[in-house]
Amino acid sequence: MSDAPELPKEEEEEREEELTPEPEDQSDDSSGEEAAGNTEMDFLRNLFSSTLGLGSADKVLDELTLDGVAQYIKSGKCKNILCMVGAGISTSAGIPDFRSPETGLYANMQKYNLPYPEAIFQIDYFKKHPEPFFALAKELYPGQFKPTICHYFMKLLKDKGHLRRCYTQNIDTLERVAGLEGDDLIEAHGTFFTSHCVSFCCRQEYNLDWMRDKIFSEDIPRCDKCSSLVKPDIVFFGENGGSACMFEGNDFPRCDLLIIMGTSLQVQPFAGLVGRVSKGCPRLLINMEKAGQADPLFGLLGFGGGMDFDSEKAYRDVAHISTCDDGCLALAELLGWKVELEELVKQEHARIDGQEKEKEKVGESKGAAAEVSAAAPVAPEPKKEE
C-alpha cells in the first residue's frame, strides 16, 4: 500500500523530463563564452603586466642588500647574470666619465672651442670639424690604461660560469683587455677596436693600430682609398645604430640577476634595457648615486620598469652606493672571492706592464737602428774605368 502512490509520480516525473528541454547546449555555450572571456582577460593582463611592469612577482632575495645578492649568487640558482656598465667603471683607470660636474669630459671641453660640449660627439659637427674629436681621442686612446677591479670582477663572473653577457656603454675597450670578448660582450655605443671610412661608397675598414698611428702622429685619419675621413666605430649622436638596439633576444628574459655599474642610466636606448628583465629578476646597482628610478607619477599609477629602491613595494632592486671598485670588492668578499679577485688584478696588471716594457724596448731599438742608419757615411760610388 505504501508503494502504490509513488508509481504515478515517477511516471509523471519521467514525462516532465521528456517534455522539458535539456539546457546542456545553452550551458556549454555560456561556459564557452565565459572561458573565452577569461582567456582574453588573461591575455590582456599578461600584456599589460609584461609591457608596463604591472602585477606582483615572487621575492627572490632574502633581503634587499649586497649580502642578499651574494647569498642569491651562492645559492646556485644564478647562472645567467647580465652586467650593464658605463663610464663609472673606468674612472679609477684614469679615464674621466662624461657628466661629473667638475671632472667629467663635458665639464672640461673649453679648450676645444666647441659650440656646446656634446658637439664633439655629433656626427655632423665631426664631419666638418674632426680636429677636436681626434685631439680628445689622443688623450683617451685605448692602450694607455689598465682595466679596473670592476672589469676583472666581471671576468671572474665569466670564469665561474655566472656571466651570460656584459652590455657596455664604454668605448675604451677595457672589457676586452680584461678578457671579455666575442659572445661575452655587447658594445652598445661602439668601439675604438675597428674604424671605417665615413664614405658610404667606400666603408674601408681599419684596425686599432692603424688608427693609433694616425692619431699619435697628429694626422687627421683619412682613407687610403678615397681620402675621406676615417672614424672609429663608436656611435656618435645623430647616427643610426648602436648594439643596444640589437641586443641578444634571449638575454634579458633569461637573466636571473642584472648588475648595473657606473652608469647614470640617462642615455636611451641603453637605459631602457633595465626594464626588459622579468619582474622576478633582482637588479643590483653599484654607483656613486641612485639611478634609473621610476617616474613618481608612473609609480603612483603602478607602472613598473624603472628601479625601485625605497618604496614600500620595493622587492628586488638593491642600490649599493660606492665606487664601482669598492662595490665589487665588497661583493667579492661576501662571495669568498676577494683574495682571488685581488690576485687576478695583480697578475693581469703585471702582465700588461710587461707587454708595455717590451713595446718600449722594441721602439727604442728601432729608433736606435734608424739613427745609426742615418748617421752612417755613404760610401762613394766607385769610379768607372775609362
- Confirm whether residue 184 is marked as ligand binding: no
- Confirm whether residue 202 is marked as ligand binding: yes
Query: Which residues are known catalytic residues?
Result: 189
- Confirm whether residue 264 is marked as ligand binding: yes
Strands (E) located in 198-265: 205-207, 230-234, 257-261
- Confirm whether residue 170 is marked as ligand binding: yes
- Confirm whether residue 150 is marked as ligand binding: no
Q: H or E stretch including 37?
A: helix 24-52
Question: What whole-number distance in Å separates Cα of residue 213 and Cα of residue 220?
Answer: 11
- Confirm whether residue 245 is marked as ligand binding: no
- Confirm whether residue 288 is marked as ligand binding: yes
Nearest to 168 by CA among 192, 198, 145, 146: 192
Find all residues with CB under 8 Å of 374, minimum gap 6, and list them.
Answer: none
190-197 and 205-207 strand pairing:
antiparallel
Place of cell 671572474: 156
Nearest to 326 by CA among 66, 62, 61: 66
Total number of residues shown for the chain: 386
- Confirm whether residue 186 is marked as ligand binding: no
- Confirm whether residue 98 is marked as ligand binding: yes
- Confirm whether residue 83 is marked as ligand binding: no
- Confirm whether residue 226 is marked as ligand binding: yes
Question: What whole-number distance in Å separates Cα of residue 187 and Cα of residue 242?
Answer: 8
Q: What's the distance, Cα to Cα, between the start and end of the chain in Å?
A: 163
Question: What whole-number distance in Å separates Cα of residue 105 and Cα of residue 128?
Answer: 21
How many Cα atoms occupy the beta-carbon half-sphere of 384 within 13 Å? 1
- Confirm whether residue 307 is marked as ligand binding: no
- Confirm whether residue 102 is marked as ligand binding: no
- Confirm whether residue 51 is marked as ligand binding: no
- Confirm whether residue 45 is marked as ligand binding: no
339 burial (CB, 10 Å; 0-12 / 13-18 / 19+) is exposed
Angstrom distances, CA of residue 287 to CA of 156, 247, 270, 291, 335 = 20, 23, 16, 8, 19
Instruction: Give the CA angle between residues 263, 264, 265 to the nearest 5°.
Output: 90
- Confirm whether residue 323 is marked as ligand binding: no
- Confirm whether residue 241 is marked as ligand binding: no
- Confirm whether residue 169 is marked as ligand binding: yes
CB count, 10 Å around CB of 71?
Answer: 15
- Confirm whether residue 65 is marked as ligand binding: no
190 burial (CB, 10 Å; 0-12 / 13-18 / 19+) is buried
Binding site members: 87-91, 97-99, 169-172, 197, 202, 223, 226, 263-264, 287-289, 324
Binding site members for Zn(2+): 197, 202, 223, 226
Binding site members for NAD(+): 87-91, 97-99, 169-172, 263-264, 287-289, 324
